[in-house]
Chains A and B, each alone.
Chain A
Amino acid sequence: DAGVTQSPTHLIKTRGQQVTLRCSPKSGHDTVSWYQQALGQGPQFIFQYYEEEERQRGNFPDRFSGHQFPNYSSELNVNALLLGDSALYLCASSRGQGGRELFFGEGSRLTVL
Chain B
Amino acid sequence: AQRVTQPEKLLSVFKGAPVELKCNYSYSGSPELFWYVQYSRQRLQLLLRHISRESIKGFTADLNKGETSFHLKKPFAQEEDSAMYYCAPRYGTSYGKLTFGQGTILTVHP
The interface of chain A, by Cβ under 8 A from chain B, is 3-4, 31, 33, 35, 40-45, 48, 55-56, 58, 90, 92, 94, 97-107
Contact = CB atoms under 8 A, between A and B. Distances in A.
Contacts of B51: 100
A56 B43 contact: no
B103 A106 contact: no
Interface residues of B, number: 21
A69 B94 CA distance: 22
Interface in B39-69: 43-46, 49, 51
Interface of B: 4, 32, 43-46, 49, 51, 86, 88, 93-103
12 contacts: A4-B43, A40-B102, A42-B101, A45-B96, A45-B98, A48-B97, A55-B96, A58-B97, A97-B95, A102-B46, A104-B43, A104-B45
A35 B88 CA distance: 13
Given A42-B101, A45-B97, A58-B97, 8 more contacts: A33-B96, A40-B102, A42-B102, A43-B44, A43-B86, A56-B95, A90-B44, A103-B45
A88 to B, nearest CB: 10
Nearest to A101: B46
Contacts of A101: 46, 49
Contacts of A4: 43
Nearest to A103: B45
B95 A104 contact: no
A6 to B, nearest CB: 10
A56 B96 CA distance: 8
Given A43-B44, A104-B43, A92 B96 contact: yes
Contacts of B49: 100-101
Contact of A45 (B32, B93, B99, B101): B99
